[in-house]
Structure 1
């Protein structure tokens, strides 16, 4: 082969490598978009960018490359927004009309009203321009350091201030960028110093050591121990400097507050810190949240009670007095009796009751008068005209026994006082909140199905639980709108308020409830009552939805929390199918012939498919590799659910041990590793601190008891330990 041809091929190979690395570097700008924006179908933007690089690489004449790139742009837009055939061109008039509409918006400088189609068009044009700049930097000037530096800064900022995890992105960016810089530098040396590409010294003898050093440095940087941050997280610092801060659903303050019960909820939002100070113990045989009060009026910033109220006196031996607004369950609903005892920590007593359900009577350690707020449902305690803080009291109460069938059968006809009070929304509520609720529930037939859809909406759409990076809405912002469309992260107040507002916007009465979660399970008493410890960190808010003829049913939209009230699932069985006419039994020979014929037919059909697509085995192998890669990359998302499903209904004397050991393995996979020097008890404490719980310590003690016992205890895998085990797994986050 002539020398000039060899040099041309070598140069072409260099250009191909440069384009490939340049595309990978630009790809790092596109990867975060799915997590930090509402942009979907990111793969279309990636494929279009790759196509631009390929066309540019072949250096086609302008009169060919321009229409090819433009055609690809239009096809990409068509794939995103139109459903008819591309070559039918039926979509063109709509496209032109959209462009004209947005040109008018440009002239008026009304950027917020731009349509998604035009925004995508501008983004495709931007990618086109950047691909040309990449060609200019890589081929013409041989300089890429500035773009590389900007990419590192871009990825670092997203990692710091958004939900995007850029741990691997930074490693990829540095690795690709350094190789690009090294290759470009070598090519400059070759061009200026006159080295030959055919002597064997360039590029292999330089590229190989360069790649090895960069790869080794990246690997060491990844596996090396990481020091703790020298500076605190800047996000809460910036928020704090701006004077934003709230106490979770339970108070109004400034700066980073501590969680706990508060009474002013008119201004929600802002960061808080967990406070694990115990405030009371409960001894209970029911499963529920501890209600304190409800609020019915949403202001756009928080919650208030606007309905004029009156005090209702209650008697200790008959706590059944209520009003239309405080009645939880309607008459005729099947109820089950329960008993609970509350023991407040010294100095942490409250002058009101924690309400587990429908109260029947109460016995307290001191003579007290009980007064019901006729709107919020809060029951205050008094003695001789002054507030009385009870340290210990026992109550009998009732919880309903409901089935999904009952809830699904509830009508949409509500009493007048329900619609007047619990469908209220501020006039300033943005329309897109109502549109979102309508869009999510339009295909649901029953009220219950609509409510469950909204309850599960947040978990299915990437809304994150966060107590620090939580914004406070500005004067012209709505609290719910900001959470749903801007921040998409918050704590219980954000989730519960958003669910109430979304339900009300589609005509379903709902209200906002405050109180405490059940707390941390401690032990099972001889009297059959479960002992729980409730701390300030258990302060919580949730949702109650009104069902006609039934009452107020609690729902839990907050990520990481499980609704303790679950209606019984339907256990209806379908009617047996009509019996088919009995056919005479065929001889075995005939059956074998039919099976062979069917098998031959299937093989021919499959063979024709393989023939139509080419080498079927290669395609199948590629699909298997792709599926395996996807399963491996997203293993942390499905491992938890699979583990819960596998052990939830498993029984046997060895089940508890297997489940606990599987839990240890999961913790290791998710990065909560056990150090060699840790005993099991020490590791359990470490896990509890990491997951904000005390459940691991309880399970570890039970596991040690099994290990040192001479015979297996089959009753350890009971509702209590299974519940603790499952809650721990649900708290683990990737």
Structure 2
């Protein structure tokens, strides 16, 4: 007679549920690295709660509402800020569900809101937790789920940024332990033993755990043989056209933004990659420069000057060659400090350079070598390149005034004129003609440079990452951008500015690195914390000014140059005093005009005044119409001017609400079902920032706080607010 299946004891069930939860947790861990989910803790805690409720085997009429309540509370924690039991958030949730059901019926998956996506994910976790109960307690078969988990983690480790080295070990250990326990339980049931008696935990689980743990450790520390087959990822990436580039790259597909070294073939579309690369802790705002290039080929950038390797003293790293010298001696400099902390697996074997380095603090075994042409500082240990996970730097930035730059002449050093005025012989003449036309009426070199820097915005060149052309074999990269496509990204704008400046005899060079990144908050010692991602990869322009050095400029639309010279502060001359007018002598009474002539004169005056008033009204109406038609051109600047110097506890709220209105005017509308947080994420994606999320969080804090905060309209929030407005496209 066949034995009936026995239910495991409470202890055995607890062990199974615990291991099952740990195995399912491995599915959640990668979400932070491969998705835009900032915090997975809420999903982990919700999953744990589901396992706990299932463990107690409560009746359905109790367990179902308890799990549903936990799901709603988890959603509330993610997207709503009012009190959970107030239920003020329920209408918004129902409205969002209704809106997304329409999208679901239309199969419009891309437009679904984050709230509904999270709701579906919570439901999925609920279903999987039930399946885990079914596999562990009812069928006692977990091998298929274990195998799928291993495949899932392996794929992520191969094709994404997720590092699954430890995840594989954890998964194998947990999976084999579960399989062993379940197999043992089946043997006991087949032989008719009782699970409630004996020394089951000690006699089975302990030895099994020991064997699996020992095998895992030996597998981890043992030497590995080289792979028998080449890595398939580069081959697949080449087929799809996805490879890391400066900010874009030539290829048959869409490239992926990131830092790369080969810039000989520029052009083509790219997609943004928001994978974090490193965090910075800094007391100044600047670009992170890596290297410069001087030779424009007509298709891209190369270095033709023979490279010179220069050892760098960590305590005196400012000693540089002529080519890599950034600023001349004698300038007023400000001292600053910065710390770099690279994300795991994203380290570089060179330094991010914030300015003129005066000290480098890293592993004491590290040595440094300067590329005398590019300006790149590489890091070495024991004779080989090493990737530093963290390092600190002391550096200086110059304090420049516009007056200094305007006084600069065209007296350049020989190495500057020999290498940084180069242009290809194939450069079309119309590019040179345009350069001469743009700079013709500017009196100083600085005025010419600023005119070229602002030319692209003035002439409505568009920032675009998708519809970007690739020059043909007989076509020049800059010529194509200036006269044909008129849209592109930083490589197009920066290269074009350099070519235009060189065409009129102003030396300039191409610089690569990263923008400052996304501000995360204030750290210790007054240092600001920034997160830099692949999407912050950037190229810009440095122009040489005699007696000063290489000064950065930013021609790319939508980007603000963090290095700005102080403007001239000339006191405006007081208006000339108007001399007192002597009293006019009274007219002779005998010279009075006749009554009829006075009447005619008065009528003529009325008629003239009527014409003047009508003309003025027409002009005002025309002006009002033009102002309305072109409101997108001036509303941004007017708004910034209006709020820039305002103070008071209500200013932040008023400015944020004005920002919401501006976004609506410029076409970035808030959907009815969007919460403020969802809308902030939508705006950040549209404008390629993360600033809106910070401002929205601060605004919600004010709205739901019993006390109004008076310090929110500070330099930090004002800067984020202003940058967002500047990024809005007319």
Relative to the length of structure 1, the TM-score reads 0.63
Report SS of the residue matched to 1:543. Answer: strand
> CA separation in 2, counterparts of 1:632 and 1:579?
39
Partner of 1:534: 532
C-alpha contact 2:241 2:254 (8 A) present in aligned 1: no
Deviation string 1:97-153 (CA, Å, 9 cap, x unpaired) is xxxxxxxxxxxxxxxxxxxxxxxxxxxxxxxxxxxxxxxxxxxxxxxxxxxxxxxxx
Deviation string 1:260-297 (CA, Å, 9 cap, x unpaired) is 00000001000000000000000101111000000000
Report SS of the residue matched to 1:636. Answer: helix
C-alpha contact 2:250 2:470 (8 A) present in aligned 1: no
Deviation string 1:239-274 (CA, Å, 9 cap, x unpaired) is x99989994446554421100000000010000000
Matches within 5 A, 1:19-418: 247-249=245-247, 253-365=251-363, 367-418=365-416
Shift of 1:667: 1.7
Deviation string 1:613-668 (CA, Å, 9 cap, x unpaired) is x9555554444333333322222222222111111122222111110111111122
Deviation string 1:324-348 (CA, Å, 9 cap, x unpaired) is 1100010001000000001000000
User: Would the alpha carbon gap of residues 342 and 246 (structure 1) be closer, same or farther in structure 2, given more than 3 Å must change?
Assistant: closer
Equivalent of residue 712 in structure 2, options 716, 726, 730: 716
Q: Is residue 694 from structure 1 mapped to residue 690 from structure 2 by the alignment? A: yes
Deviation string 1:152-186 (CA, Å, 9 cap, x unpaired) is xxxxxxxxxxxxxxxxxxxxxxxxxxxxxxxxxxx
C-alpha contact 1:250 1:264 (8 A) present in aligned 2: no
Shift of 1:573: 1.6
Shift of 1:509: 0.6
User: Would the alpha carbon gap of residues 675 and 573 (structure 1) be closer, same or farther in structure 2, given more than 3 Å must change?
Assistant: same
> CA separation in 2, counterparts of 1:288 and 1:609?
63
User: Would the alpha carbon gap of residues 604 and 695 (structure 1) be closer, same or farther in structure 2, given more than 3 Å must change?
Assistant: farther
> CA separation in 2, counterparts of 1:320 and 1:675?
53
Equivalent of residue 543 in structure 1, options 541, 544, 552: 541
C-alpha contact 1:278 1:533 (8 A) present in aligned 2: yes
Equivalent of residue 682 in structure 1, options 678, 684, 696: 678
Shift of 1:398: 0.2
Report SS of the residue matched to 2:319. Answer: coil
Partner of 2:484: 486
Equivalent of residue 640 in structure 1, options 633, 636, 639: 636
Shift of 1:610: 6.8
User: Would the alpha carbon gap of residues 627 and 389 (structure 1) be closer, same or farther in structure 2, given more than 3 Å must change?
Assistant: same
> CA separation in 2, counterparts of 1:430 and 1:732?
34
C-alpha contact 2:255 2:270 (8 A) present in aligned 1: yes
Shift of 1:680: 2.2
Partner of 1:651: 647
Partner of 1:664: 660
Q: Is residue 705 from structure 1 mapped to residue 721 from structure 2 by the alignment? A: no
* Higher-Rg member (1/2): 2
Equivalent pairs counted in the alignment come to: 491
> CA separation in 2, counterparts of 1:629 and 1:605?
34
Structure 1 unaligned spans of 5+: 1-223, 233-239, 591-600
Shift of 1:422: 0.5
> CA separation in 2, counterparts of 1:641 and 1:650?
15
User: Would the alpha carbon gap of residues 604 and 385 (structure 1) be closer, same or farther in structure 2, given more than 3 Å must change?
Assistant: farther
Partner of 1:129: none
Q: Is residue 508 from structure 1 mapped to residue 503 from structure 2 by the alignment? A: no
C-alpha contact 1:246 1:271 (8 A) present in aligned 2: no
> CA separation in 2, counterparts of 1:290 and 1:570?
27
> CA separation in 2, counterparts of 1:360 and 1:420?
29
Shift of 1:723: 1.0
Mean Cα deviation higher: 685-694 or 519-528 = 685-694
User: Would the alpha carbon gap of residues 631 and 607 (structure 1) be closer, same or farther in structure 2, given more than 3 Å must change?
Assistant: farther
Shift of 1:549: 0.3
> CA separation in 2, counterparts of 1:485 and 1:631?
30
Structure 2 unaligned spans of 5+: 1-101, 112-237, 588-597
> CA separation in 2, counterparts of 1:688 and 1:576?
46
> CA separation in 1, counterparts of 2:626 and 2:239?
42
User: Would the alpha carbon gap of residues 605 and 551 (structure 1) be closer, same or farther in structure 2, given more than 3 Å must change?
Assistant: farther
> CA separation in 2, counterparts of 1:300 and 1:229?
43
Deviation string 1:575-604 (CA, Å, 9 cap, x unpaired) is 5577676x49869999xxxxxxxxxx9x98
Equivalent of residue 443 in structure 1, options 441, 444, 448: 441
Equivalent of residue 467 in structure 1, options 438, 441, 465: 465
Deviation string 1:652-690 (CA, Å, 9 cap, x unpaired) is 221111101111111222233333443322322222222
User: Would the alpha carbon gap of residues 250 and 366 (structure 1) be closer, same or farther in structure 2, given more than 3 Å must change?
Assistant: farther
C-alpha contact 1:313 1:370 (8 A) present in aligned 2: yes
> CA separation in 1, counterparts of 2:603 and 2:504?
50
C-alpha contact 2:244 2:258 (8 A) present in aligned 1: no
Report SS of the residue matched to 1:716. Answer: coil
> CA separation in 2, counterparts of 1:393 and 1:510?
31
> CA separation in 2, counterparts of 1:732 and 1:264?
32
Matches within 5 A, 1:416-435: 416-435=414-433
Partner of 1:28: none
Report SS of the residue matched to 1:527. Answer: helix
Alignment root-mean-square deviation, CA? 3.3
C-alpha contact 1:250 1:262 (8 A) present in aligned 2: no
Shift of 1:366: 5.7
Report SS of the residue matched to 2:526. Answer: coil
Shift of 1:525: 1.6
User: Would the alpha carbon gap of residues 403 and 529 (structure 1) be closer, same or farther in structure 2, given more than 3 Å must change?
Assistant: same
Q: Is residue 725 from structure 1 mapped to residue 721 from structure 2 by the alignment? A: yes
Deviation string 1:374-398 (CA, Å, 9 cap, x unpaired) is 0110001111121100000010000
> CA separation in 2, counterparts of 1:522 and 1:637?
31
Report SS of the residue matched to 1:713. Answer: coil
Relative to the length of structure 2, the TM-score reads 0.63
C-alpha contact 2:278 2:342 (8 A) present in aligned 1: yes
